[in-house]
Amino acid sequence: MTSNHPARRGLSLVFSLAMAFGAGHAFAEARTLDTAYGPVTVDGDVERVVTLYEGALDSAYAVGVEPVGAIMTRGGDSVATYLQDRADGINIVGTARETNLEAVVALQPDIILASSRLPKEQYDLLSKVAPTLVPTTSGFKPDNWRAEAEFFAKALDKEDEMQQALTDVDAHIAEVARTVEARIPADERDAVLARWMPQGPLIMASTLFSTGLLEATGFTVGDAGAVKANRPHSSPLSQENLNLMDGDWLFLATLNTEGRDALAAAEKSPAYNRLSVVEKGHVIPVDGQIWTSATGPLAAQSILDTIESQLPDAR
């Protein structure tokens, strides 16, 4: 029955409009996250996202969110090369070490996703601009990236999408692990990850995101005792200490042109060419922007692709 009473007709119209609009758009519920600086509530949908951490940018793209601002990658002048197709036109708002607060304010973000290492002073400033989400992870642990990816996904109200992304990564890990087992004998899987810088090579810790993926696929990753506790890498190695990188496999990263030039010069030196891993042809060149700087589901897939493509042929 249709009411002719003006007040009732008005209420009916409001109710109908609310139902019609609600049917086409599901608003995100408010969610409260435990962060490094206490609980932070994100209320409803977020459209303008600024990321101050490479892992946050990767996670956002992995769940279908396109941030409006991000920091440049280490050794580069924009976001990491593996994300540049997705990040066309994104605004750069600083580096991992220093945020350009004015640039962040200009973007009028709904939320800011940051690294667990964001200093309290910067947090206090940024949180006045928008809710700022800082994960509670600490130190260098191979699985920190998973906890951070889930954290950022909750902030974006994309938890289901992230679970699917992580499930896909786990399936890829299992696939690569089967191939490693089939193609490399168990006693020939010692591996080192190093990054060649203009000052010399750094051995990367065995507790990082990428070295954790190497371990998960069947390699045994070491650092020859060159990396101090809770540090991401060693000091630059001298020519006399290059043997610390030796082993069955060497995954060798560079970040930029300067690093690649330094490596090209070293590859002509006797000390480098005496390494058994060089003589065996088991030096695998990898992208340092992914292997030594990035984290997240998309970076994980790229690392797994590289491992898989560089494995020796079937025995």
Give pLDDT, residue 26: 52
Q: How would you classify the pairing of strands 132-133 and 249-254?
A: unpaired
Q: For residue 85, give the amino acid letter.
A: D
Cβ atoms of 71 and 92 closer than 8 Å: yes
Phi and psi at 157, nearest 5°, equal 60, 45
Residue 158 has pLDDT above 70, yes or no: yes
Can you tell me the distance from the alpha carbon of 198 to that of 260, in angstroms, rounded to the nearest whole number?
8
Confidence band, pLDDT 50/70/90 cuts, at residue 147: very high
> Which whole number is the average pLDDT over 105-126?
96
Q: 3-class DSSP state for residue 191?
A: strand
Can you tell me the distance from the alpha carbon of 39 to that of 5, in angstroms, rounded to the nearest whole number?
48
Six token digits for residue 239: 């020519």
Residue 5 has pLDDT above 70, yes or no: no
pLDDT tens for 167-200 read 999 999 999 999 999 999 999 999 999 999 999 9
Phi and psi at 106, nearest 5°, equal -60, -25
Q: 3-class DSSP state for residue 225?
A: coil
* Dihedral, 163, 166, 167, 168 alpha carbons, nearest 10: 130
Higher pLDDT, 117 or 45: 117
Closest CA to 94 of 128, 63, 125: 125
HSE-CB for 83 with a 13 A CA cutoff: 34
* Dihedral, 301, 303, 304, 309 alpha carbons, nearest 10: 120
What is the average pLDDT score of the chain? 90
Closest CA to 304 of 219, 247, 242: 219
Confidence band, pLDDT 50/70/90 cuts, at residue 118: very high
Percent of residues, the chain, with pLDDT higher than 70:
91
Residue 24 has pLDDT above 80, yes or no: no
pLDDT tens for 59-101 read 999 999 999 999 999 878 899 999 999 999 899 999 988 999 9
pLDDT tens for 214-235 read 999 999 999 999 999 889 999 9
Can you tell me the distance from the alpha carbon of 276 to that of 263, in angstroms, rounded to the nearest whole number?
17
Give pLDDT, residue 77: 87
Give pLDDT, residue 233: 95
